[in-house]
């Protein structure tokens, strides 16, 4: 099972990695063709849609995965029916509300763009149950083909439009067009005929479990989007463009890897639970150790690289994004520490336990952002960092008391990551202090120094973990042959 999970992670990494690298390249190009205001308008619209995206299937996709059934069962068909209805309702409501949403961000002239982007949840939601079946069966190679196609279509639509039509519409059209193609491919790979009768027991079971999963997702989506909403509404659309750009590299390098893990985690944890709770706990601790090492180390490195990365990669006009990027990088690094434990609650059939933490945490974060907005973009980014430090500690405490995992095992999974990240950041700052600021050569040399420090510190502080992963990858390679 471990090898299949690693294989799923690798295929998902290929898909997400290729997708995000293409999107980063697209962003680098569009950053030179479009204005911060264009990016700000699209960022505002996508932020609203991302919050709705979390509730597109009311958690029934997660229920399909957790049930561990085989084939296209009546429950899968009923889930498809529910998804189609929900995504269509969200799309219609969003199109109707587009003028008011645009006005919220002082972009009334862009109401049509907001309406266009509300086709995204329709296409996205209509393919989610087919995608859940691929996840349930660990068929991540097929998902990779879909994600690669999605990225290619986005480039094929956005670049020509940016060169001809220009404006924010070029970004929006690429997003919607790529999701339409992905939906069609999912329907071809996993054809599901919707159920046209109401099976009360199936609906009740799917919605009871899925409802709690949806609450977790919606709260998580609100936390992920609250800073964008506060910046856009209280600081301004142009400032939101800078803040969104400050997020680009940390999101690509750290947050996307966490979402890659989430794409595999529920399936792997659910299968581990069928074997035993000990196997599930061991898998969660291993994942916590790996994600903590990766997240904290990458966050420290990006914080050091930010003063060069922003002007060199995105152009000097994005200089105001440097300081926020430093704190966002560190914040996403700490987010990785508690990430691996989230799907354990769902795999064990206890998603409500996590809801009890997430409701007050989400309220506290929103209040913090509103207060911090008076201090500009840096204030909001610092608030995000403080919250993520406290939240990761609270998540570990919840695992301790809800699942009985001893503190020494939890802290032992995180301690090597702290040492590796501190070493990486310290070496990067030292090297950067003797090099000229804002130069490509400085970015390259400091980046290489951070990478070398991370490898060396990993072998020093987490040698057994490194060897364990190398062994798994080798066995996976042998199995593939």
- Which segment, 93-97, 273-277, 385-389, is predicted with the most confidence on average? 385-389
Shared-domain flag, residues 186 and 48: yes
Q: For residues 57 and 201, state if they share a domain.
A: yes
pLDDT at residue 34, as a whole number: 64
Whether residues 23 and 154 fall in one domain: yes
Do 201 and 278 sit in the same domain of this protein? Answer: no
In this prediction, residues 342-358 reach a mean pLDDT of 87
Q: Which residue has the higher pLDDT, 104 or 166?
A: 104
User: Same structural domain for residues 227 and 326?
Assistant: no
Dihedral angle sign, alpha carbons of residues 356, 408, 275, 139:
positive
Which among 201, 235, 269 is the end of a domain? 235
Residues 216 and 264 in one domain: no
User: 57 pLDDT exceeds 80?
Assistant: no
Contact 152, 22 (CB under 8 A): yes
In the structure, what pLDDT confidence band is assigned to residue 31 with cuts at 50, 70 and 90? Answer: low
Concatenate the DSSP letters of all residues of 231-278 into one string. IIIII-HHHHHHHHHHHHHHIIIIIHHHHHHHHHHHHHHHHHHHH-HH
pTM for this structure? Answer: 0.75
What is the reported pLDDT for 422? 98
Q: Are 43 and 172 within one domain?
A: yes
Name which of 387, 399, 411 is nearest 334 in CA terms: 387
What pLDDT is attached to residue 10? Answer: 61
Is the model more confident about 407 or about 207? 407
What is residue 480's predicted lDDT score, i.e. its pLDDT? 45
At 63, the pLDDT band (50, 70, 90 cuts) reads confident
Q: Which of 14-28, 212-226, 313-327, 365-379 has the lowest mean pLDDT?
A: 14-28
Single residue among 181, 204, 235 that ends a domain in this structure: 235
Q: 271-286: per-residue pLDDT in tens?
A: 787 778 888 888 899 9
Domain membership of residue 335 as a residue range: 236-481
Contact call for residues 334 and 296 (beta carbons, < 8 A): yes
**Looking at residue 9, what is its pLDDT?**
55
Same domain, yes or no: 319 and 340: yes
Give the pLDDT of residue 380. 97
pLDDT at 6 over 60: no
DSSP letters of 306-357? Answer: HHHHIIIII-GGGGGGHHHHHHHHHHHHHHHHHHTTHHHHHHTT-HHHHHHH
Q: Evaluate whether 415 touches 288 at the Cβ level (below 8 Å).
A: no
481 band by pLDDT with thresholds 50, 70 and 90: very low
Residues 408, 290 share a domain? yes
Q: Considering 203, 235, 267, which residue would you say is the last residue of a domain?
A: 235
Q: What is the count of structural domains for the chain?
A: 2
Same domain, 114 and 189: yes
Task: Kindly report the average pLDDT of the chain as a whole number.
Answer: 85
- Note the pLDDT of residue 478: 43
Same domain, 253 and 327: yes
Lowest mean pLDDT of 142-156, 261-275, 384-398, name the range.
Answer: 261-275
Q: Are residues 160 and 241 in the same domain?
A: no
């Amino acid at each position: 099972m471990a090898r299949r999970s690693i294989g799923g992670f690798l295929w998902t990494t290929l898909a997400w990695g290729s997708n995000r690298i293409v999107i980063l390249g697209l962003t680098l190009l569009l950053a030179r063709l479009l204005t911060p205001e264009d990016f700000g308008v699209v960022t505002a619209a996508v932020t609203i849609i991302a919050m709705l995206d979390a509730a597109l299937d009311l958690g029934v996709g997660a229920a399909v995965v957790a049930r561990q059934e085989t084939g296209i069962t009546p429950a899968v068909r009923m889930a498809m029916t529910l998804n189609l209805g929900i995504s269509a309702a969200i799309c219609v409501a969003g199109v109707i509300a587009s003028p008011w949403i645009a006005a919220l961000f002082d972009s009334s002239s862009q109401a049509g763009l907001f309406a266009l982007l509300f086709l995204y949840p329709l296409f996205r939601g209509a393919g989610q149950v087919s995608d859940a079946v691929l996840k349930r069966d660990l068929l991540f190679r097929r998902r990779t083909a879909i994600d690669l196609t999605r990225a290619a279509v986005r480039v094929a639509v956005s670049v020509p439009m940016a060169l001809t039509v220009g404006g924010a519409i070029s970004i929006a059209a690429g997003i919607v067009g790529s999701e339409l193609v992905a939906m069609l491919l999912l329907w071809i790979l996993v054809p599901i005929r919707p159920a046209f009768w109401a099976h009360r027991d199936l609906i009740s079971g799917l919605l009871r479990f899925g409802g709690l999963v949806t609450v977790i997702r919606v709260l998580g989506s609100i936390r992920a989007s609250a800073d964008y909403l506060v910046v856009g509404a209280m600081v301004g659309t142009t400032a939101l463009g800078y803040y969104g750009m400050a997020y680009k590299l940390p999101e690509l390098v750290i947050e996307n890897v966490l979402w890659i893990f989430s794409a595999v985690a529920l399936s792997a944890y659910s299968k581990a639970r069928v074997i035993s709770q000990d196997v599930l706990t061991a898998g969660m601790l291993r994942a916590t150790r790996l994600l903590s090492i990766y997240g904290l180390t990458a966050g420290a490195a990006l914080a050091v690289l930010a003063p060069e990365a922003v002007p060199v990669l995105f152009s000097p006009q994005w200089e105001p994004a440097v300081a926020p990027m430093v704190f966002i990088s560190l914040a996403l690094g700490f987010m990785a520490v508690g990430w691996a434990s989230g799907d354990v609650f769902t795999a064990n059939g206890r998603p409500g336990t996590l809801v009890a933490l997430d409701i007050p945490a989400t309220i506290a974060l929103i209040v913090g952002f509103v207060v911090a907005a008076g201090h500009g973009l840096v204030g909001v980014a610092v608030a995000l960092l403080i919250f993520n430090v406290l939240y990761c500690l609270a998540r570990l405490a919840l695992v301790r008391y809800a699942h009985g995992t001893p503190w020494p095992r939890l802290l032992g999974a995180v301690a090597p990551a702290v040492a590796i990240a501190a070493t990486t950041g310290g070496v990067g700052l030292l090297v950067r202090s003797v090099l000229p600021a804002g130069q490509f050569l400085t970015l390259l040399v400091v980046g290489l120094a951070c990478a070398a420090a991370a490898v060396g510190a990993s072998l020093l502080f987490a040698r057994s973990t490194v060897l364990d992963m190398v062994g798994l990858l080798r066995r996976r390679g042998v199995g593939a042959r």
